[in-house]
Amino acid sequence: MLMGSSVSGRSVPPSVPGVDRNLDTSGHAAAIDVQGMNFYYGEQQVLFDISLKVPERSVTALIGPSGCGKSTFLRTLNRMNDLVDGARCTGLCLVEGQNIMDPAVDVVLLRKHVGMVFQKSTPFPKSIFDNVAYGPRVAGEKNRAVLAELVESCLKKAALWDEVRDRLHTSAMALSGGQQQRLCIARTLATNPKIILMDEPASALDPASTDRIENLIGELCSNYTIVIVTHNMQQASRVSHQTAFFFRGRLVECGPTMKIFTSPVEKQTEDYITGRFG
Amino acid sequence: MSVAGGELAGSIPPVSFTLGADGQIRQRLRLSRGFMWLCRLATYASLLVLAVLLLSIVWNSVGRLRWDFLSSHYSMQPDRCGILAGLWGTFWLVLLTATFSIPVGVGSAVYLEELAKDTWLMRVIRVNLSNLAGVPSIVYGILGLTAFRPLVIQLQSVFDGRHAVNVLGLFRVRLLKLDIYDGSVLIGAMTMSLVILPTVIIASQEALRAVPSTIRVASLALGATRWQTIWRQVLPASLPGIATGVILSISRAMGEAAPLMMIGVLTVASMCPGGIESPGQLLSDPGRLLSVPFDQFTAMPVEIYDWSKQPDPQDRFTAVAASGILVLLAVLLTVNAAAMIVRYRAGRQLRW
């Protein structure tokens, strides 16, 4: 078996379908290639010299204790940190070869290609249909038939279609928490992104809903590149091809998920995944 | 230890406390009840005063409050004196005030809340908005008198053709023949806009602040621009709050007399702005609309003030004043009810 030696007796839960945790990603094209990124909130430096490659069509999990910078890192990938006063970032962040830190980059276009799902499901106080159609609409799509088709396909991809097909025009606020989060995923898919960033997408959900979201991630990763921040290490080990461990603003270690969870190179990583701290 | 389960189950432990009220707890309960009665008294006392006021007004209005009160002009005969000019004056005043203050007020609120960076200047503006809201309205009246009156008179003279202006040197504009008056609807509306703008801005800011930031972030993350986020998400979500604030401000503008007296509106008016005395006339001769802003006018609170100090040996104008108060109250209550309906309707749809 693949059980590592340095973490003797540790068992790793089975992965969700569609995720190969021993994937050799060295041959994959990098969807995201971060080189020497430093990030500051005002005077305070939050990220130190981060370099990380995210392979195309795979799931990368970012783990680490609270305040380690993993969420901040995730937000730099579609420049959501621009919204914070005094945020500053240096280094290179290449998304499909283009440096998104370049001031000439249009963040609106960037966010269309790099979608984001948040911890708290945030449906707009509108109908289910209008929620999913929002992204295409702000991008200029007006044709109702095109929108209807898009809404249907995105809701299907997000495994929500069967539950809401009869009430597309009722308020999205009436959905359950798990349904709302899948709606948010469908909404993100509707802008046709290449990359989806997920910031603890299941941390506010019950186990059954979490399970659905995890399986959904496994399905989506054949078409999308996914980066997910999670506090739940079992979740990281179930859904990701590659895991990156952050600690105090530094990227300690990154590698195939199976390797990180069974035989990490760094002592800090081992201490964290065995629950000795964090 | 000999404490076995069976022994415990059947026995009742010795009493270690009592539940009967003793002297000390009685004292505390008395205080508590006394406090409740004091609060109740405070509430009912103010309600009682209000009820007495209302009743005395209704009582006084007997003798004049008939339907023709709404459709009559001022008259020296209390029996024929009516509030028509004030009704139309207040209507146009409020309409123009809303036209000025809603775009400016909501726009400022959106800028201050959604767009402006948190600079020194912005902090000064934010703090002083509430100071401005507390400035007595008569002060704005003085401002209107000194700043807006010359401005509007200048504008009137342009419209008037007395100083016909060259537009781009091509043709001379001589639009309408109007008489110049002080205290026109336009000056009144500009002044009244100043009175309510701080309140409109503050209420709109509160409404915008109540929209969860997650909505903005989610919208931006879906590739919406800032403008799209504000226009499609933030404003619709805050609309009930903004509408309520605006309507309440408007109802304040309806009740204000002081700033209007300051800019010199008529107290005794026997004509309506634009000569429009019924909705029918408005439809049949829309051209009159153009002269409305430049016409002199009076408003309901000004008329009421004037009636209440009319020298009349038999005190017959008291009934006229009381009737005016009741009409003004009815209009105000209608407007406030509209605000409540807006809030209630929207509140059902929006739950975060």
User: Measured between alpha carbons, how far is A17 from A214 in angstroms, rounded to an integer?
Assistant: 9
Residue of B nearest to A134 (CA): B222
Give the residue, A84 or B34, on which the prediction is more confident.
B34
| Alpha helix segments (H runs only) across chain B | 5-10, 23-61, 84-110, 120-133, 137-143, 149-160, 185-209, 213-221, 226-229, 235-255, 258-262, 279-284, 300-308, 317-349
Residue A81 belongs to some domain of the structure: yes
Q: Where are the domains of chain B?
A: 62-349
Subunit contact A80:B117, Cβ cutoff 8 A: no
Q: What is the pTM of this model?
A: 0.79
Residue A39 belongs to some domain of the structure: yes
The predicted model gives B263-282 an average pLDDT of 80
CATH number at residue A37: 3.40.50.300
Task: Encode A166-177 in three state secondary structure.
Answer: HHCCCEHHHCCH
Q: Shortest Cα distance from A78 to chain B (angstroms)?
A: 8
Subunit contact B223:A111, Cβ cutoff 8 A: yes
Which of A10-19, A101-110, B118-127 is least confident?
A: A10-19
Give B 111-130 residues with CB within 8 A of chain A: 117-118
Radius of gyration of chain B (CA): 29
Subunit contact A138:B232, Cβ cutoff 8 A: yes
CATH 1.10.3210.10 fits B62-349, yes or no: no
What confidence tens digit (pLDDT) does each residue in B149-162 have? 777 777 766 665 55
- pLDDT in the model for residue B61: 83
User: Measured between alpha carbons, how far is B26 from B312 in angstroms, rounded to an integer?
Assistant: 61
- pLDDT in the model for residue B288: 75
What confidence tens digit (pLDDT) does each residue in B125-158 have? 988 998 998 899 999 988 888 888 777 777 766 6
Q: Shortest Cα distance from B68 to chain A (angstroms)?
A: 48
Residue A140 belongs to some domain of the structure: yes
Residue A4 belongs to some domain of the structure: no
Chain B residues within 8 A of A173 when measuring between CB atoms? 351
Residue B290 has pLDDT above 90, yes or no: no
Across the interface, of B117, B223, B349, the residue whose CB is closest to A108 is B223
The complex's ipTM? 0.85
Whether A84 has its CB under 8 Å from any CB of chain B: the answer is: no
Residue A78: what are its φ and ψ, rounded to 5°?
Answer: -125, 20
Chain A residues within 8 A of B232 when measuring between CB atoms? 134, 138
Q: Shortest Cα distance from B273 to chain A (angstroms)?
A: 44
Q: Which residues pair with A196 in a beta bridge?
A: A115, A226
- pLDDT in the model for residue B178: 46
The predicted model gives B15-34 an average pLDDT of 83
Subunit contact A83:B223, Cβ cutoff 8 A: no
Subunit contact A118:B117, Cβ cutoff 8 A: no
- pLDDT in the model for residue B313: 72
Q: How many domains does chain A have?
A: 1
- pLDDT in the model for residue B172: 45
Residue A6 has pLDDT above 50, yes or no: no
Length of chain B: 352
- pLDDT in the model for residue B350: 57
What confidence tens digit (pLDDT) does each residue in A23-53 have? 766 667 888 999 999 999 988 999 999 999 9
Residue B327 has pLDDT above 70, yes or no: yes
In a mutagenesis test of the B interface, which of A100, A119, A134, A137 is the best target, namely the one with the most B β-carbons within 10 Å?
A: A134
User: Measured between alpha carbons, how far is B202 from B129 in angstroms, rounded to an integer?
Assistant: 7
Of the ranges A161-165, B170-174, B288-292, the best mean pLDDT one: A161-165
Give the residue, A237 or B158, on which the prediction is more confident.
A237
Please report, rounded to a whole number, the percentage of residues in chain A having pLDDT higher than 70.
95
Domain of A184?
A: 25-273
Residue of B nearest to A193 (CA): B222
Give the residue, A196 or B154, on which the prediction is more confident.
A196
Residue A271 has pLDDT above 50, yes or no: yes
Subunit contact A125:B351, Cβ cutoff 8 A: yes
User: Measured between alpha carbons, how far is A168 from A102 in angstroms, rounded to an integer?
Assistant: 40
Per-residue pLDDT band at B175 (split at 50, 70, 90): very low
Q: Shortest Cα distance from B295 to chain A (angstroms)?
A: 46
- pLDDT in the model for residue B127: 87
The mean predicted confidence, pLDDT, of chain B is 83
Across the interface, of A111, A120, A171, the residue whose CB is closest to B220 is A111
User: Measured between alpha carbons, how far is B69 from B54 in angstroms, rounded to an integer?
Assistant: 19
Give B 279-318 residues with CB within 8 A of chain A: none
